[in-house]
Amino acid sequence: MNFKNLRTIIIITAILYSISAFSQEKNYEKHVFTYKKVQNHEIKANIFLPKVKQKHPVLVYFHGGGFIFGNRDEGLPHVLRDELLVHNYAVVSADYRLAPETKLDKMVKDASDIIIYLRKEGVKKFNINPDKIAVVGGSAGGYLALSTGYNVEPPPRAIIAISTPTDFSASNIEKGDEEVLEQPGPYDVVSDGIISYGDYTTRMDLWRFLAKNRLANSEVFGFDVTKDTTRLKTFMLTKQITSSYPPTLLLHARKDPLVPLSAVEPFKKFLKEKGIESELFLVEEGHSSQLIKNNPQAIEKLILFLDKHLK
Task: Judge whether 13 lies within some domain.
Answer: no
Domain extent for 288: 28-310
CATH number of the domain enclosing 75: 3.40.50.1820
Q: Please name every residue paired with 91 in a beta bridge, in sequence order, or none if there are none.
A: 48, 59
Rounded to whole angstroms, the Cα distance separating 67 from 203 reads 10
Task: Judge whether 171 lies within some domain.
Answer: yes
Domain count across the chain:
1
Task: Judge whether 231 lies within some domain.
Answer: yes
Task: Judge whether 128 lies within some domain.
Answer: yes
Comparing CA positions, the residue from 91, 69, 72 lying closest to residue 80 is 91
Rounded to whole angstroms, the Cα distance separating 246 from 40 reads 34
Task: Judge whether 6 lies within some domain.
Answer: no
> Do residues 94 and 114 lie in contact, with contact meaning Cβ atoms separated by under 8 Å?
yes
3-state percent helix, strand, coil for the chain, nearest multiple of 5: 45, 20, 35
Comparing CA positions, the residue from 144, 245, 196 lying closest to residue 39 is 196
Long-range contacts of range 215-218, CB-CB < 8 Å, 24 or more positions apart? 215/175, 215/176, 215/178, 215/180, 215/181, 216/66, 216/68, 217/173, 217/175, 218/175, 218/178
- Residue 198 phi/psi, 5-degree rounding, is -100, 130
Task: Judge whether 44 lies within some domain.
Answer: yes
Comparing CA positions, the residue from 10, 211, 238, 194 lying closest to residue 102 is 194
Sequential pLDDT tens for the chain (311 residues): 554 554 544 444 444 444 444 344 568 999 999 999 999 999 999 999 999 888 999 999 999 999 999 999 999 999 999 999 999 999 999 999 999 999 999 999 999 999 999 999 999 999 999 999 999 999 999 999 999 999 999 999 999 999 999 988 766 678 999 999 999 999 999 999 999 999 999 999 999 999 999 999 999 999 999 999 999 999 999 999 999 999 999 999 999 999 999 999 999 999 999 999 999 999 999 999 999 999 999 999 999 999 999 99
Q: Which residues make Cβ contacts (< 8 Å) with residue 48, sequence separation at least 6?
A: 28, 29, 30, 81, 85, 90, 91, 92, 93
Name the CA radius of gyration of the chain, rounded: 21
Residue 87 burial by Cβ neighbours in a 10 Å radius (0-12, 13-18, 19+): middle
Task: Judge whether 226 lies within some domain.
Answer: yes
> Do residues 237 and 248 lie in contact, with contact meaning Cβ atoms separated by under 8 Å?
no
| 3-state SS track over 5-40 | HHHHHHHHHHHHHHHHHHHHHCCEEEEEEEEEEECC
Task: Judge whether 12 lies within some domain.
Answer: no
Comparing CA positions, the residue from 10, 65, 45 lying closest to residue 216 is 65
**Biggest alpha carbon–alpha carbon distance for the chain:** 78
CA angle 168, 173, 179 (to 5 degrees): 115
pLDDT digits (tens, 9 = 90+) for 160-204: 999 999 988 766 678 999 999 999 999 999 999 999 999 999 999
Q: Report pLDDT for 174.
A: 83
